[in-house]
Structure 1
Amino acid sequence: MSIIMFASDKGGVGKTTTALNLAVYLSGKGKKVVLVKTDKNEDLTRWKQRRADNGLSDIPLVEAYGDIRDELTRLAGIADHVIVDCAGYDNQEYRYGLLAAEIFVTPVKPSSRLETDTLENISATVRRAEEGNPDIRSYALFTRVKHNRMQAKITLGKHLTEAKGVISPLKNFISELDVFEDCVNEGAGVHDAERASSLTKAKAQIELMTRELGLLA
């Protein structure tokens, strides 16, 4: 079992899209997955309804607010993977969740200074959480990477690897591909789709990220 939390101090960084695609992929591999919604907006609820409307397999969705530690622990006892999607700002669900999660992922677009500037504060928050949850593994995931902005990814990755006290970057990354948005719009993940532009690339990136996180053997 594992509790994987996606959070950031900023909205629009790709948390929900990545979390949903991870959930779809793991579910398709026969794993029992539960999504946890800690944001009061209705994005995940609407995604789940569109999924049902399109006849796609169900992925359970649970809402949890405030001190979510007990609920995450409970869900981890009945599921292989609990995937937590937090709101795009510093909040109590995010901070309590860090005390229960096994893996923390903060997505960031490496070419966006508005996003990379958040990493210092996020790292400090995670380091404080490690005092109560020393086994948590935390990572920055580069998302929405454009092929003509690869140097920004390389530069930020080198900085995070060499700097002290900041979150480590995953080696694998997620490109800016329309297929991710197109699938989420239909209540799907890329692993639900059969044909689309850049579909093979999108699937491979989700699979490589999943394996780097150690969620599949």
Structure 2
Amino acid sequence: MKIISFISRKGGTGKTTNAINLATSLHAAGKKVMLVETDTNYTLNTLRKMEAARESGTSSFDIVGSQDNNIADELQSIREKAQYDYIIVDSAGKTTDEGIKKLCLVSNAVIVPTSLTQNDLLVTYQTVTDLMPAKSINTDLKILVLPNRIHSFTRLKTVQETLSKVSAKVLEVMVPQKNAYVNFSTMHPEQEYTPVMKEILKNL
């Protein structure tokens, strides 16, 4: 079982969008998936209930709610039962929170989504810096930067050059700036996300 956590120092970087797109893509690929959201608004849970009411009988995966200060211990318990291939965590807290530090210690990979705006880049550099100490304890931890909301005319080389000073692995794929990734479903995968899923899995 692999635990993939989406973490960033601030909101609005694309954690939730990418977490749900990765989960739906993995489920469509035949994997047993659980998605955990730690935002206490539990938006994904609410959306799932609405979709399930409209589409009863459609195959879906588990979405559960938790909190950042509890999630690490809960994941340890879930891991022991070995019911899932992947657990995706959409975290809400800041990287300095104790719960997020513990989450890094039980995760196989942490994904930091970022656009190329100056503000997001600064947040990404700081997020990666905050997360690096976890690697000295969880030596198998992968810290991956996911280029997100990238203009379709932007070349991958440009993205990599822009993110070259980040002290983490920059994934060789881009999530484009499209409405399809914003207006997501908790039950239906976005087909264009498949290359992103494959690139993430390749780096686990």
TM-score band by shorter chain is 0.7 to 0.9
2:60 maps to: 58
For these two proteins, the number of residue pairs brought into alignment is 197
1:49 maps to: 49
Find the residue that maps to 2:106 and give its secondary structure: coil
2:14 maps to: 14
Partner deviation per Cα, 1:161-194 (whole Å, 9 max, x = no partner): 4x3x71221001100111222334xx44444xxx
> What is the deviation of 1:5?
0.3
Find the residue that maps to 1:57 and give its secondary structure: coil
Find the residue that maps to 2:137 and give its secondary structure: coil
1:104 aligns with 2:110: yes
> What is the deviation of 1:9?
0.8
Q: 8 Å contact 2:42–2:65 — kept in the other structure? A: no
Partner deviation per Cα, 1:196-216 (whole Å, 9 max, x = no partner): xxxxxxx23x21122122269
CA distance in 1, matches of 2:179, 2:187: 13
Q: Name the CA shift for 1:20/1:189 in 2 (closer, same or farther; >3 Å).
A: farther
Q: 8 Å contact 1:180–1:190 — kept in the other structure? A: no
After superposition, the CA RMSD in angstroms is 2.2
Partner deviation per Cα, 1:66-118 (whole Å, 9 max, x = no partner): 142231123232211000001163333322111110011010011x1111101
Q: Which runs of 5+ in 1 are unaligned?
A: 192-202
TM-score, normalised on structure 1?
Answer: 0.81
Give the alignment partner of residue 209 of structure 1, picking from 173, 179, 196.
Answer: 196
CA distance in 1, matches of 2:91, 2:24: 18
Amino acid at match of 1:169: V
1:199 maps to: none
2:168 maps to: 167
1:70 maps to: 73
Amino acid at match of 2:45: T
2:132 maps to: 127
Q: 8 Å contact 2:33–2:87 — kept in the other structure? A: yes
Find the residue that maps to 1:147 and give its secondary structure: coil
Amino acid at match of 2:76: T
1:158 aligns with 2:145: no
Q: 8 Å contact 1:103–1:138 — kept in the other structure? A: yes
Taking every aligned residue pair, what percent have the same amino acid on both sides? 26
Q: Name the CA shift for 1:210/1:20 in 2 (closer, same or farther; >3 Å).
A: same
Amino acid at match of 1:40: T
CA distance in 2, matches of 1:93, 1:177: 32
Partner deviation per Cα, 1:125-180 (whole Å, 9 max, x = no partner): 221111211101111101111124x26x644522544x3x7122100110011122
Amino acid at match of 2:120: E
TM-score, normalised on structure 2?
Answer: 0.86
Q: Name the CA shift for 1:121/1:20 in 2 (closer, same or farther; >3 Å).
A: same
Partner deviation per Cα, 1:53-77 (whole Å, 9 max, x = no partner): 2314332122232142231123232
Find the residue that maps to 2:76 and give its secondary structure: helix
Q: Name the CA shift for 1:215/1:26 in 2 (closer, same or farther; >3 Å).
A: farther
Amino acid at match of 1:96: K
CA distance in 2, matches of 1:115, 1:159: 12
